[in-house]
Each structure stands twice: as structure tokens, then as C-alpha cells.
Amino acid sequence: MSVPINLVVLGPPGAGKGTQAVELAQQRRIPKISTGDILREAVQSGSELGQRAKATMDAGRLVDDELMIAIVRERVSRPDAAGGFVLDGFPRTVSQATALDEIMSGQGALLVVDIAVPDDALVARLARRRVCGQCGDTTAVEADAETPRCARCGGELVLRSDDTESVVRQRLRVYHEATKPLVDYYSSRATFRSIDGDRSPEAVRQALNEAVDEVLGMLHAGAGAGADR
């Protein structure tokens, strides 16, 4: 039996984690599960969990751990996730991680890859990001470019208000506060890898695939050894 790819991708906002997760999921033919997507889907399906989530969000509150865990549990138990999945945006807390371990017991090992990018590199990356005021396209500009226009429609490019340095640094502070315990929770495991995300998307994609293959190889060897006994 092949080893399922039960993958959790961690990484700071702006690291390109979502795109990497989508690409890896497509390539490996496993579903990419993001909490935003499954929340929307649960609400649309009108399931009992979905109705509870909708009521919570309609009241302007955040969906709590317990409900989020129940929704993830339901999603990863579906047949299309039997060969694995890529989880993006979950877990965010140690209590969610503990619950995920419990959900996964008997379903194969959890692979965790942290896409690490230094704060300064993220700030510099986001400082170059511009959004077109006309068509909404996002693009990166060179530091020395003079009032560039949108390549798609010629519209004026503007810095998003939430990409200013102080806002980005605040977002990163919140991220590190929440994620540091999560990385500590996972980092001693043999199935944990940290990759350098301060590179081109292609280089990160390659490193992510190598990390996944390496852990899968290790798990295969372990499964083989177990079967021999």
C-alpha cells in the first residue's frame, strides 16, 4: 500500500504558501484543503456544521477551534482525501494541531513542511507589490521603476494599504506569536522539514517537492521494515 501524503504547509503571510499548496496538490492529485474554502463549502452545503459556522460568522465572530476542528475532521475523512491532502491555513494553534493528530491516528503519518522566510525579505517583497486601481491585478515592481502602469490594462498601480511596512510587520508579529509554538510542536518529528522560502517560486517548489519525497521515502522504508517482521 502506498503511503498517503498527509501534508501540512506552514509559512508566513506573503511567502507564497497558498500557491505552492495548490500546485503540489494538483501535481500529486490530492485535494488542497484550505480552511477558507472548506468553511465556504460547509456553509453552502447547508450541513449542520455549515449552519453553525454561518451563524457564528453572521454574528461577526470567529469560528472557534472546536467547530473548525469538526469541519476539518469531516473534510479529511472524505474518500478523495484517502490518498492524502495538502492542508493550508490549518492548524493555526497547538490545540488545533493536537486535534489534527487525533483525527489522523490510524490514517498515516502527518508530513509538516515550514516555508521559512525572514521578516525583512517578506517586508521587501511586499513593498514591491502593487495592485492595479483599474483591473485589480497584482504585480511586483522594481525598486527603481518610475510610476509603472499595469501591464494588462495600463491602469495606475498603487500600494495596497495593508502592504505598508508597519502593517506587514504587525501581521508578521501576530503570525510568529501564533506559529512559533506550532513549529516547536512539530519540529522534533522525523516528518518535519523546514525549507528556505527566500528564493524564486520555482526553487521553493522544488525544495518543497524534495522535502515531501524525502519524508515519503523514509515512511515507505519504515512501512517496508514493518511488513517484513
Q: Which stretch binds Zn ion (CB under 5 A): 27-35, 124-132, 200-208, 215-223?
A: 124-132
> Interface with Zn ion includes 149 (CB under 5 A)?
no
DSSP state of 30: -
Nearer to Zn ion among residue 13 and residue 155 (C-beta): 155
Q: Which stretch binds Zn ion (CB under 5 A): 80-88, 122-130, 144-152, 220-228?
A: 144-152
Binders in 174-193 for Zn ion, by CB under 5 A: none
Cβ neighbours for 180, distance < 8 A, ≥ 6 positions apart: none
* Catalytic annotation present for 129: yes
Whether 94 and 185 have beta carbons less than 8 Å apart is answered as yes
* Catalytic annotation present for 28: no
Question: Which stretch of DSSP H or E encloses residue 137?
Answer: none
> Interface with Zn ion includes 150 (CB under 5 A)?
yes
Burial of 21: CB neighbours in 10 Å, binned 0-12, 13-18, 19+? buried
Q: What's the grid cell of residue 147?
A: 510610476
Whether 150 and 134 have beta carbons less than 8 Å apart is answered as yes
Nearer to Zn ion among residue 21 and residue 132 (C-beta): 132
Contacts with Zn ion by CB under 5 A: the residue count is: 8
Binding site for Zn ion (CB under 5 A): 132, 134-135, 137, 150, 152-153, 155
Q: Which residues are catalytic?
A: 17, 92, 129, 160, 171
